[in-house]
Structure 1
Amino acid sequence: MVLLTMVLTKYAVIDSIFFSNLSFKNYTLIHTTYLGITLTYYQFTLLALSILSITAGGYIINDIFDIEADKINKPLKVILEKSISKKKAWILYYSSTILGLFLGTYLSFTIENSLYSFFFIGTILVLFLYSKYLKKTLIIGNLIVSLLLGLVVLITVIFNEPKAHNSNLLEVISNMATSIRLLLITITYIVFSVLTNLIREIIKDIEDINGDLKIKAKTLPILFGRKRASKVAFFFCAVLLVFLLIILQSLIKEYVLLTYGILFILLPLLYFMYKLWSSQSKKDFSLLSNLMKVIMLFGILSMVLFRLK
């Protein structure tokens, strides 16, 4: 999902906005001249590998700290202490994380933006703190991991936004308008990613309440009960619904995007909310978690439509 988000953000959204009418000889658009795409294919590959390595490290460290809870929540899917020892898991964590940090820092210095390396350092620290402490806290852990998912879109845009060469006022205005459009699209996908993942994280906490009780976590369903936690998730669904309606309203003349949004995102969300209101069992919440993953996937795939316009 992370790799798909990065690839579509760059090659479907950014390229379609900046280079749809591109003259490949001098990177010239109508009224707009660009010095070129910030990242080459090689550099983008480094960025993707860096993010994927850090993400993999996050999953590993999360499994290490969650092993006792996972033995209860998903006993058949536990790998640690069965197929792989804790010691080897720690080695994999350090190897993956250090590789991701090295690649990200190297790329930042290569493109002469060394401050960008703090994105990778900060993400690693936050993932560790999340797995060790914050995951057990009320809503904070859910929000942090959701923001990190939205950060994938932001980092991809920041690293890949073309550098503009402004030779006259018309080009300045054109460049500004294009950048504002990209900013609005970026914010839209970040908000969508954060809200959908936040809802899914709450659903997963409800689903995993038994294992979380053993590790003395203070998640939403543990402190307030499954029913109230599901109503909180429903509230965020309502927020997401209002957000989607606003976005769809703005796409009233973009028939393809509008139709796609209604059929593959809005209607599944309404069905999700309907099922959420009456869900009670672990199986119900497991199905809801998978359904939200499908909604998230369709949201990401909507980026392809920018390429087809």
Structure 2
Amino acid sequence: MVLLTMVLTKYALINSIFFSHISIKNYTLIHTKYLGITLTHYQFTLLAFSILLITAGGYIINDIFDIDADKINKPLKVIIGASISKKKAWILYYATSILGLLLGSYVSFTTENSAYSFFFLGTILSLFLYSKYLKKTLLIGNLIVSVLLGLVIFITVLFNEPKANSSNLLEVFSNLGTGVRLLLIMITYIVFSILTNLIREIIKDIEDINGDLKIKAKTLPILFGRKRASKVAFFFSAGLLVFLLIVLQSLTNEFVLLIYGIVCILLPLLYFMYKLWIAETKKEFSKLSTLMKIIMLFGIVSMLLFRFIDS
């Protein structure tokens, strides 16, 4: 999902907005000089690898600290301590995190954006703190990991920030207007990403309540019960619904995006909310987690449609 988000953000969303009226023949020249897009394809590949390695490190450290909980929550899927030793897992964690940091810092320095390297360091530290401490707290851990997922879109756009290399005032203002449009669209996708992931994280906590009790976590379902926790997830789902309605209202002139949003995101969300309201068993919450992941996927894939509405 992380790699797909980055690829679609750059090659579907950003390229569609800035290069929709540019011929393929002149693409390479304009891609590197006309608007001063920061990353070349090679640099973007390094950036993507950096994010993927840091993400992998996050999963590894999370599994290391969750061994006892996972033995209860998903005994057939426990890897650390079964297929791989804890010592090797730590080595793999350090290797992926450090390599991810080095690649991210390299891209930052080679694009003359050295300060951006702190994003990678901050993400690694946040993932460690989340796995070690924050995951066990009330909503804070859920929010942290959701924001980090939204950060993937932000970093991709940030590294591909347009910089006009023209003295033509009309061209400069045109590029500025396009940049503002990209900013608004980026914020929309980030909010969608944070809300959907936050809802899914709460549902996963409800699923994993037995294992979390083992590690003395203080998650929402442990402190207030599964039913109340599901109602909190429903509250955020209602917030997501309102947000989507506002977005869809602004797309009345973009028929393709409007229909896609209604059929592939809005209707599944309404069905999700209905099933969430009546859900009681772990199996039902597991299905809801999968359904929310599908809604997240449909939301990200909608970036492809910009190639049609802006062409």
Question: TM-score, normalization: structure 1?
Answer: 0.97
State the partner residue of 2:134.
Answer: 134
State the partner residue of 1:58.
Answer: 58
CA drift of 1:305 comes to 0.3
State the partner residue of 2:30.
Answer: 27
State the partner residue of 2:284.
Answer: 284
**Aligned residues with identical type, % of pairs:** 80
Contact 2:36 2:165 in 1 (8 A): no
State the partner residue of 1:225.
Answer: 225
- Give the secondary-structure state (helix, strand or coil) at the position aligned to 2:164: strand
The root-mean-square deviation of aligned C-alpha atoms, in Å, is 1.2
Contact 1:34 1:162 in 2 (8 A): no
Matches within 5 A, 1:236-275: 236-275=236-275
Structure 2 runs not aligned, ≥5 long: none
- Paired amino acid for 1:20: S
Distance in 1 between residues matched to 2:165 and 2:150, nearest whole Å = 29
Contact 2:162 2:179 in 1 (8 A): no
Distance in 2 between residues matched to 1:214 and 1:83, nearest whole Å = 22
- Paired amino acid for 1:270: L
Distance in 2 between residues matched to 1:172 and 1:305, nearest whole Å = 26
- Paired amino acid for 2:74: K
Measured against aligned partners, the alpha-carbon deviations of 1:50-98 in whole angstroms (never above 9, x if no partner) come to 0000000000000000010000000010011110000000010000001
Distance in 2 between residues matched to 1:27 and 1:110, nearest whole Å = 20
State the partner residue of 1:37.
Answer: 37
- Paired amino acid for 1:274: Y
Distance in 2 between residues matched to 1:108 and 1:15, nearest whole Å = 21
State the partner residue of 1:173.
Answer: 173
Cα distance change, pair 121–37 in 1 and its aligned pair in 2 (3 A): same
1:113 aligns with 2:94: no
- Give the secondary-structure state (helix, strand or coil) at the position aligned to 2:253: coil
Runs of 4+ in 1 over 4 A off after TM superposition: none
Distance in 2 between residues matched to 1:233 and 1:111, nearest whole Å = 41
Segment drifting more, 33-42 vs 117-126? 33-42
- Paired amino acid for 1:176: L
CA drift of 1:169 comes to 2.9
Contact 1:14 1:161 in 2 (8 A): no
Distance in 2 between residues matched to 1:50 and 1:211, nearest whole Å = 31
- Paired amino acid for 2:258: L
Measured against aligned partners, the alpha-carbon deviations of 1:198-217 in whole angstroms (never above 9, x if no partner) come to 00000000010000001000
Matches within 5 A, 1:68-83: 68-83=68-83
State the partner residue of 1:235.
Answer: 235
State the partner residue of 1:194.
Answer: 194
